[in-house]
């Protein structure tokens, strides 16, 4: 398989065939994100992608899922995507699910009917970053779009019948903006109503703009207790109908896995116990991205 630079994928795609169709991220401006800083955005040569699909058809017959890399494969024109999905379906007919990352900018270029076309050809899950539901925070971290625009893109995905996994970042509002970030993020998640929410806790990445702001004292990271309080407010304002609220990423101090609405109160109680010091938290040295 032909890969340019480091390849990242969600933990749930560990056993998937990773097909890199674009490199980097077409936005690539978020101040907290370092994943594609050293990789210019580009669309990969169709011949190379087709060779990868042929390779997978011979050597990956035991794998049942495909994940399209890098940051936003949906930025490809619809005709190219249809042709790509056709090639995957013809050569890997045993595949049960195609997934991809997609930022709001690339979803905004698709209509619901175009997303439905992709769903019919196997696109089953999209991983999208909301990061915050607070417009001030989104603007400060240079995310593409405001909360209303990002929510709208998420709703298009679910309307098309494609599962949506939305990530948000605890601590992204800094200390001063913590509670408003938490409350507005919960409200935005409720409006979007994805099947899955994944909460990460902010960890600065070297050579990012946010890391420089932290080093200059312009942005405050939250303490573990402040992070838990923020998480509590976020969950309190999140209503999924139904959906999973995960905070089990390695960056988090308190691993959580809740099915909402069923587990909401139980999970809030667990966070309260952790705030009171009654639950062991992940030590700083074990946290990671
Ligand atoms: S849109 Fe996603 S991948 Fe692109 S810079 Fe922002 S966080 Fe990183």
Mean pLDDT computed over every residue of the chain: 96
Confidence check: pLDDT of 289 > 80? no
**CA 33 to centroid of ligand 1, rounded, Å:** 6
* Whole-angstrom Cα Rg for the chain: 19
**pLDDT tens digits, one per residue of 3-61:** 999 899 998 999 999 999 999 999 999 999 999 988 899 999 999 999 999 999 999 99
Of ligand 1's listed atoms, the one at least distance from the Cα of 28 is 5
Per DSSP, which regions of the chain are E strands?
A: 17-20, 22-23, 42-43, 65-69, 97-101, 123-131, 163-170, 196-201, 243-246, 257-260
**CA 25 to centroid of ligand 1, rounded, Å:** 6
- β-bridge partners, 216: none
- List residues near ligand 1 (CB under 6 A): 25, 27-30, 33, 35-36, 71, 103, 129
Element (H, E) at 53: helix 46-59
pTM: 0.95
The whole-number pLDDT of residue 134 equals 98
d(CA 94, CA 222): 46
Superfamily name with CATH number, domain 11-278 = Aldolase class I (3.20.20.70)
Of ligand 1's listed atoms, the one at least distance from the Cα of 32 is 7
**pLDDT tens digits, one per residue of 221-261:** 999 999 999 999 999 999 999 999 999 888 999 999 999 99
Contacts of 205 (CB under 8 A, 6+ apart): 32, 33, 34, 211, 289
Ramachandran sector of residue 217 (left: φ over 0; alpha: ψ -120 to 50; beta: rest): left
Confidence check: pLDDT of 285 > 90? no
**pLDDT tens digits, one per residue of 160-219:** 999 999 999 999 999 999 999 999 999 999 999 999 999 999 999 999 999 999 999 999
Q: Write the CA distances from 4 to 22, 41, 42, 70, 200, integer angstroms.
A: 9, 11, 10, 10, 26
């Amino acid at each position: 398989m032909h890969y340019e630079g480091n390849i990242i994928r969600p933990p749930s795609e560990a056993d998937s065939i990773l097909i890199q169709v674009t490199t980097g991220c077409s936005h690539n401006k978020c101040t907290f994100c370092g994943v594609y800083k050293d990789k210019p955005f580009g669309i990969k040569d169709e011949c190379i992608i087709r060779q990868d699909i042929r390779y997978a058809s011979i050597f990956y017959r035991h794998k049942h899922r495909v994940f399209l890399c890098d940051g936003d494969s949906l930025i490809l024109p619809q005709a190219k995507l249809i042709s790509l999905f056709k090639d995957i379906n013809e050569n890997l007919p045993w595949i049960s699910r195609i997934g991809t990352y997609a930022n709001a900018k690339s979803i905004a270029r698709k209509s619901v009917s175009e997303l439905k076309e992709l769903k019919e050809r196997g696109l089953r899950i999209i991983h999208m970053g909301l990061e915050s539901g607070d417009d001030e925070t989104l603007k400060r971290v240079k995310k593409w779009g405001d909360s209303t625009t990002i929510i709208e893109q998420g709703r298009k995905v679910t309307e098309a019948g494609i599962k949506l996994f939305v990530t948000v970042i605890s601590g992204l509002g800094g200390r001063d903006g913590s509670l408003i970030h938490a409350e507005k993020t919960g409200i935005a998640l409720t409006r979007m109503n994805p099947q899955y929410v994944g909460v990460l806790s902010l960890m600065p990445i070297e050579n990012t703009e946010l890391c420089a702001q932290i080093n200059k004292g312009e942005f405050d990271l939250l303490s573990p207790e402040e992070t838990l309080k923020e998480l509590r407010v976020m969950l309190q304002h999140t209503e999924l109908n139904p959906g999973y609220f995960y905070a089990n990423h390695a960056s988090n101090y308190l691993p959580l896995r809740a099915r909402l609405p069923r587990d909401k109160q139980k999970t809030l109680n667990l966070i309260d116990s952790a705030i009171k010091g009654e639950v062991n938290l992940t030590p700083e040295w074990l946290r990671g991205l």
